[in-house]
Amino acid sequence: MADAARTDELVAFFKALSDANRLKIVALLAAGERSVEELAAKLGLTSPTVSHHLSRLSAIGLVSARAEGYYSIYRLEEGALAAMALRLLNETTLPAVAADVEMDAFDRKVLATYLDADGRIQAFPAQRKKELAILRHVVKAFEPGRRYSEKEANTVLRRFSADTARLRRHLVDFGFMDRQGGGGDYWTAEAATR
């Protein structure tokens, strides 16, 4: 599914379910089939309003209708709801919606604020998310897969700050680097190299 089509489908799905009355209709239909008139009476709405909500839910395939005499009887397409949720709300679909968003813009803004022209940290930010942006930048100076002694790690970190102990500690504490206990080697964490 193309990213634009996926985004459009997600928007339609969320719009259809973004109304409290439509959610109540879904809940009532989950308990059993109902006519427009029955739904209107239970919800205290007019039949045209309920018909409008049902048409929105029908448009994305969540409800269907069958004729029974003069009435249309609506039912929830539970299989469709489950299939939509699995297809649209999975771990690969949702991130793809933001594929055209520039993910590094926040980090660049933080780095421009907290680093001087030579790339050295002028001050450590108080906010964790801003410090994480700096740490993401600093860890790039380390070669993935290579082990660094504490002295070698300090040499790399001095390019960014005289407070190498703080940088080492935070790189490890926030999962950007791993280390061998007791002043042993340092290396980039697997997650930091992705």
pLDDT digits (tens, 9 = 90+) for 79-137: 887 887 777 776 666 666 555 556 578 888 999 999 998 899 999 999 999 999 999 99
pLDDT above 70: percentage of residues in the chain: 87
The angle subtended at Cα 31 by Cα 49 and Cα 13, nearest 5°, is 55
Tokens describing residue 127: 């906010």
Same domain for 176 and 151: yes
CA distance 135 to 184: 21
CATH of the domain at 54: 1.10.10.10
Q: 53 φ, ψ to 5°?
A: -60, -40
Tokens describing residue 90: 């999975």
Same domain for 146 and 119: yes
Same domain for 136 and 86: no
Tell me the whole-structure pTM to 2 decimals.
Answer: 0.50
Same domain for 72 and 133: no
- Looking at the 3D structure of the chain, how many domains does it have? 2
Mark which of 62, 97, 132 sits at the end of a domain: 97
Same domain for 126 and 79: no
Mark which of 77, 97, 117 sits at the end of a domain: 97
pLDDT of residue 100: 56
